[in-house]
Amino acid sequence: MLRIAVRSLIHDRSRLLAALAGVAFAGLLTAVQSGLYEGFLYTTSSIVTRMGGDVWVTAKGVRVIDNMEPLSAGTRSTVLQHSCTVRARPLVLAFSWVRTREGSRENVRIVGTENGEPYMPWELARGLPTDLAAPMRVAVDELDLKRLGIHDGPIGDSLAIMNKRAYIGAVSRRARSFTLLPFIFASVDDARRMTQFSDGEVSAWVVDLRDPACASDVVRMIERNPELRAWRADELRVETQRFWMESSGAGAILGFSALMGLLVGGVIVGQTLYSAVRDHEPELATLRAIGASPWRVARFVGWQALFLTVVGGAAGIVAALGLGVLAARGGMEMIFSPAVILKSVLVLIGMASFASALSVRRVLAMEPAKVFR
């Protein structure tokens, strides 16, 4: 039945091409929307992922990392009390602004961490983390140079950040916030100067533990201080993702686009399979008369659906991967993990199965005696 199904499909080339285009379109949209969704989730919480740590400590009442109140320097002693704690890294994460040479004002996000390895949270395209050790040295992302008015030779060039002169010591790669505001990396002390933080203040403490299993105990101990909120790193990441996903409606928008693609693809595949069955009804009924079981004849639809899904879906997913590469160059984050690809394939299989249902029903209802009429 495989040979009959596939050859019959290939025999009608215009119909085949239309169906493949439909599946490829559905595959492309599903994979792109899934990739964008994963990319969105990642960028909402990329600071948490990049900074690592086992426990994060913020002010009480903080819901997401993007809206943190300053913690005083004295909170560090509370954070370090537990014997399982190895260190507490300071993090300053705050909004600021840059006055470009052209005179425009660009909002930015300042990320202040302890200098040097391993605390520079992003990889560098140019320069070394130690290049940020000198006062008022910053790293800017390669995607944001133009936006910040830096056109060539960024290393050594200067920026006016909140009216304070800073010099570019390094260039980071693919550091994107979902708000699309440029990240500017600096030492904690310099970050305070470029924002409205006072001496010693931080946005959060990133705590490294000797054994991650003590995280719950450390969280409990820190939260005895009513001013503090302690999170396991995964918990803060998930909460941040959920907050932005729900409040921005991004999940619904991406899901709706993917659904549209699936509907279009499903209709095209369904129509193709159904008309193939209708056109080949005398031949299929002949097979039923000869003695093929209904489900065996239904494989005609199954093999055609599988062929369309595999060939069209592969084309769509490859196109999505290509689009992902192009999008990354433009600063858009699409993540095509094996899980995303697998999900897209499963969704396409589901779509094809759903689209096959009517055709399979028609085959199963076919009367073998029909060939005698």
**For 282-289, which contacts have Cβ atoms below 8 Å and span 24 or more sequence positions?**
282/370, 282/371, 284/363, 284/366, 285/366, 285/367, 285/368, 285/370, 285/371, 286/371, 288/366, 288/367, 288/368, 288/371, 289/368, 289/369, 289/371, 289/372
Asked whether position 286 contacts other proteins by CB under 8 A, the answer is yes
d(CA 42, CA 34): 12
Minimum CB separation from other proteins for residue 16, in Å?
11
Asked whether position 278 contacts other proteins by CB under 8 A, the answer is no
Relative to beta strand 183-187, strand 105-113 is parallel
Helices (H) and strands (E) in the chain, counts: 11, 10
Asked whether position 226 contacts other proteins by CB under 8 A, the answer is no
Q: Which is nearer to other proteins, 287 or 352 (CB)?
A: 287
Asked whether position 11 contacts other proteins by CB under 8 A, the answer is yes
d(CA 181, CA 107): 6
d(CA 145, CA 216): 42
d(CA 93, CA 86): 22
Asked whether position 13 contacts other proteins by CB under 8 A, the answer is no
- Give the residue, chosen from 57, 287, 317, 347, that forms a contact with other proteins under the rule CB under 8 A: 287
Q: Which is nearer to other proteins, 107 or 293 (CB)?
A: 293
Q: Which is nearer to other proteins, 7 or 329 (CB)?
A: 7
Asked whether position 364 contacts other proteins by CB under 8 A, the answer is no
Q: Which is nearer to other proteins, 184 or 285 (CB)?
A: 285
Asked whether position 289 contacts other proteins by CB under 8 A, the answer is yes
Asked whether position 234 contacts other proteins by CB under 8 A, the answer is no
Asked whether position 292 contacts other proteins by CB under 8 A, the answer is yes
Q: Which is nearer to other proteins, 290 or 365 (CB)?
A: 290
Residues of this chain, 294-333, that bind other proteins according to CB under 8 A = 296
Residues of this chain, 245-264, that bind other proteins according to CB under 8 A = none
Asked whether position 10 contacts other proteins by CB under 8 A, the answer is yes
Asked whether position 14 contacts other proteins by CB under 8 A, the answer is no
Instruction: Name the phi and psi angles at 64, rounded to 5.
Output: -140, 160
- The size of the interface with other proteins (CB under 8 A), counted in residues, is 26
Contact status, residue 233 vs residue 56, Cβ threshold 8 Å: yes
**For 321-328, which contacts have Cβ atoms below 8 Å and span 24 or more sequence positions?**
321/31, 323/28, 323/32, 324/32, 324/35, 328/174
Asked whether position 4 contacts other proteins by CB under 8 A, the answer is yes
Q: Which stretch binds other proteins (CB under 8 A): 2-10, 28-36, 91-99, 206-214?
A: 2-10
Would you state the structure tokens that stand for residue 105, as one six-digit string? 């004002």
Give whole-number Cα distances, 4 to 8, 47, 272, 290, 297, in Å.
6, 55, 16, 16, 10
- Give the residue, chosen from 62, 262, 273, 285, that forms a contact with other proteins under the rule CB under 8 A: 285
Asked whether position 17 contacts other proteins by CB under 8 A, the answer is no
Asked whether position 346 contacts other proteins by CB under 8 A, the answer is no
- Which residues of the chain form contacts with other proteins (CB under 8 A)? 1, 3-4, 7-8, 10-11, 280, 282-283, 285-293, 296, 367-369, 371-373
